[in-house]
A and B are shown apart, each in its own frame.
Chain A
Amino acid sequence: MNPLLPFLMSGDPSLEALPGLLAETKALGLEAIELGLPHSDPIADGPVLQAAAHRAIQKGATPLRVLEALAGLTDSPDIVLFTYLNPLLQIGAARLKRLLAPTPVKALLVVDLPFGEEAAFEADLRSAGYPMVPLLAPTTTLARARRILADRPEPGTEAPFAQRFAYVVARLGVTGAGQGTDLEPVAQRLRDLQGLSGRPFAVGFGLSDFQSLEAIRAMGATPVIGSALVQELVEGRSLHQALSGRFVADA
C-alpha cells in the first residue's frame, strides 16, 4: 500500500526547485505526489495553500510554465495534477494533451469539476491517459459516492495508484492542517466505501501528525499531507526532514 501521498505547490519556492523536490520524493520511495497548479481563486483551499499559490503566481508559475518545467522529467513519482478547472479550459483539451504528454502527470484532480459538467473535455483527457480523480466529501451520500466511483472508474487494477485512487475528504471545509480532524467518522466512511469498491482510497484535509497518518494507514488508506508539508518547507525544513518521519517505506 502507498504509505503517503504528499502535496506540493508547483512554483513554490520556485519552478527551478521543482525537479529536485520531485526526485527527492521519489528517492524516499513514494510512488505518487499531488502537485498543485497555482490558481488566482482557490476556493477549496485554506490560508496555507492560498498563500503558496499566491507566492507561486508572483514568481511567474503560470500553468504553461509549470507544464514546461515538468516536460522530460523521469526522476519523479507519478504526478496527480491538483488544479481548478478554468486554467485547463483556457488551455483547451488538445493543447493540454500535447503539454502533458512529455510529463510524469498520470491523472488530474480538478477540484471544481463535478462529473458531467465538461463531459467531452473529460472524456477526451481520459482517453489520452489522464483520468480525473473522483472526490468524495463528508456530505456525499453513499448512493452518490457509488455513482461517482462508477462515473470515474479506475482504468484497471494494473494501472498505477495515481490513476486508480479516489480522494476522500476527511472533514468539511477547506484544505489545512491542525484543526483536529475527528477520525472516527472517517473510519466509518472508509469502511462503507471499501465495501463499494476495491480501488485504493486516499484521505486528506486536516491531517498532519504521525498518529493521524498512521490511523489512516491502519484503515487501509493512504493519507494525504498538504498544508502542513507546504508550511514546513516555507519554514525552512527540507523535504526529506518533513516527510521521512511521517511514514515507513514498505520496501
Chain B
Amino acid sequence: MTEGFTLPTRFGAQSLGGCYAPETLMQPLLDLEAAFLAATIEPSFLAELKGELRHFVGRPTPLTSAPRLAAKVGLKALFLKREDLTHTGAHKINNALAQAILARRMGKAEIIAETGAGQHGVATASACARLGLACTVYMGVTDMARQAPNVARMRLFGAKVVPVAAGQGTLKEAVNEALRAWAGRCDRAHYILGSALGPHPFPTLVRSFQTVIGEEARAQVLEQADALPEVVIACAGGGSNGLGLLLPFLGDGLRRVAVEAGGHGAALGEHAARLDGGRVGVLHGCKTLLLQDECGHTAETASISAGLDYPALGPELAALILDGKVEVRRASDDEALSGARMLCETEGILPALESSHALALLAALAAEGAATVLLGLSGRGDKDLSTYQSRLGI
C-alpha cells in the first residue's frame, strides 16, 4: 500500500483502487487527502457546503412518483430521484461544488477539470464562477461536437474549454490531458475529477460528495411509500452517479443495479460494458475493471451517450459488483433512446441519454418480477436534444 495516506485506498476482495500516480502528483494527492479529512470535521466547511447545496444547487432534489411510466412498463410503483433538477442539470454539481470549496480552502486559485458529456464541466465552471476561481476544462473534440450546448454554457461561465483531439476525442483523452495539465500546475491548481475514479483519494472524495443522492432518496421513499423499493437502479459511466445513489442502500435487502452502455454491438470497441470483456487493469491512477486489448492498451469504446463511454468503471463500484453487492446490466443505444422517449411521453420529463440507459431496463425489471423501483435520473436531456432529434426523427 502507498505510504502516507490515512484513508483506505483499496476496495473489495480484489484490492481495486490504489494510487498509481506519477511521482509529481503524489504530494498533491497526499495534501488533498489531508485537506479533505480536515474539512470534513470542520464545521465552517460543512456549513458552507450544506448552505450552497440548498440555496445554490437546489437540494434536496425531489423524489417524483412516475405512475404512468410505471403502468406502461408493468411496475406497481416507480420513483425518480430528480438530479436533473439540480442547478446545472445533473448530479455532477454535488461533487464539483464541494471540491471547489475545498480547493479554495487549500488556497488554490485555479481549477482544472475534465469532462465527457459536459455536465461535470458545466458544474465545475459554474462552481468556479460562483467562488471566483479560474477554471480550465479539458474536453474531447468528439464530445465537444455532440454536447455543443454544454461547451457554450462553460464558456458563458467564464471557463476556458481546451479541445483534446487525441484518440477518440472522448472522456478518456480528456482525463489524460487534465492529468498532464495538473502535473504542470499542481503548485497552484486543484484538479476536480468528476467521477469516482482516478488515483486515491479521488474515488473516495467524489463518492463521499455524491452519496447525498442516495441518502436523500432513501429518506424520501420511506416517507412517500412507507417502504423501501425492491430495486434501486442507476446508470454507471465512471460511477459517481451509480455509487452516489446505490451506496446508501448497501445495508438494505433489495436489488441494487448499475447499468452500463451497451453501445451498438457486442464486440470490443462497440460498447462500454466493462463487465463484459473488461479485465482488471490500471488506468488513470487506479486499478479497476478496464476494457483493454491483450497488451494492456486501453480499448476503444462506443456509446450514444458521452457520459457512459469511459473504458473503466470506478474502483469502488467495480469492487461492489465483483463482490456481488451490485448487479450489472447493459442497455444499447437504441434501448436508451426508447427509454428516453417513454419517459417524455408518459411523464413530461426529458432525461439525459445517460439516465435513459437506466430507464431502458425498467420493463425487464418488471418482467423479472419487480413491483417497485427507485431510479436515479442523473441529468436532464437538453444537452442531448440534437441526438434525440436525429435519432428519433422528430
Which A residues form the contact surface with B (CB < 8 A)? 39-46, 50, 54, 57, 62-64, 84-91, 111-117, 135-141, 144, 147-148, 169, 172-174
Contact = CB atoms under 8 A, between A and B. Distances in A.
B375 interface: no
Given A138-B24, A169-B23, A172-B184, A116 B1 contact: yes
A57 B298 CA distance: 12
Contacts, number: 118
Contacts of B279: 90
Interface in B158-195: 166-167, 172, 176, 179-180, 183-187
Contact of A139 (B2, B24, B281): B24
Interface in B1-47: 1-4, 18-28
Interface of B: 1-4, 18-28, 166-167, 172, 176, 179-180, 183-187, 279, 281-285, 290, 292, 294-298
Contacts of A42: 176
Nearest to A171: B184
Name, among A50, A88, A136, A174, the residue most crowded by chain B CB atoms within 10 Å (CB to CB). A174
Contacts of A135: 22-23
Given A86-B296, A116-B2, A43 B187 contact: no
Contact of B2 (A43, A87, A117, A141): A117
A169 B297 CA distance: 25
Contacts of B296: 63, 86-91
Contacts of B167: 40
A216 B194 CA distance: 40
Contact of B26 (A40, A85, A114): A114
Contacts of B294: 90
B23 A137 contact: yes
A8 to B, nearest CB: 19
Contact of A117 (B20, B176, B281, B298): B20
Contact of A89 (B21, B176, B183, B281): B281
B281 A90 contact: yes
B282 A39 contact: no
B116 to A, nearest CB: 15
Contacts of B24: 44, 137-139, 169, 172-173
Contacts of B298: 40-41
Nearest to A44: B22
A87 B295 contact: yes
Contact of B22 (A41, A90, A111, A117): A111
4 closest residue pairs by CB, A with B = A173-B184, A90-B296, A87-B296, A40-B297
B3 A115 contact: yes
Contacts of A43: 22, 176, 179-180, 284
A144 B27 contact: yes
